Amino acid sequence: MTENGDHNRRFPRIATPNGVWVAWQQDGQRQSVCRVCDLNVGGLFIATPAPASIGAVISVLFSVPEGEIRGHATVRNVRPGEGMGVQFTAMGGQDTERLRRLVARLLETAAHHA
């Protein structure tokens, strides 16, 4: 296993610009708004000093130019004091399409800056 767990990643990570944020919540507790470090159509890494525990299910909400994206995700890895990697587990059809458009835009932007 590599240090960042890339060996079992189905989709390549895409580093996100500073303006991508996600609101997340676990079990109806207080909502947190945090920066997204990277994402792909399978999940994302959320920068937070207080990550949920591995196996926890959280709800996520992005508000991006493509529209609102809502879904549920399971915490797959935790870096204490840094954040958590989550895998999307449930997302509606329109939300999935918006996520795919967001990923396509970020890939295009990354290609232009490479």
- Amino acid occupying residue 84: M
Six token digits for residue 13: 């990570």
In a domain, 103, yes or no: yes
Cα–Cα distance, 55 to 53 (Å, whole number): 6
**Total structural domains in the chain?**
1
For the entire predicted model, the pTM comes to 0.86
Output the domain CATH number for residue 89.
2.40.10.220
- List of the chain residues with pLDDT < 50: 1-6
Residue 79 lies in a domain: yes
pLDDT digits (tens, 9 = 90+) for 26-40: 988 889 999 999 999
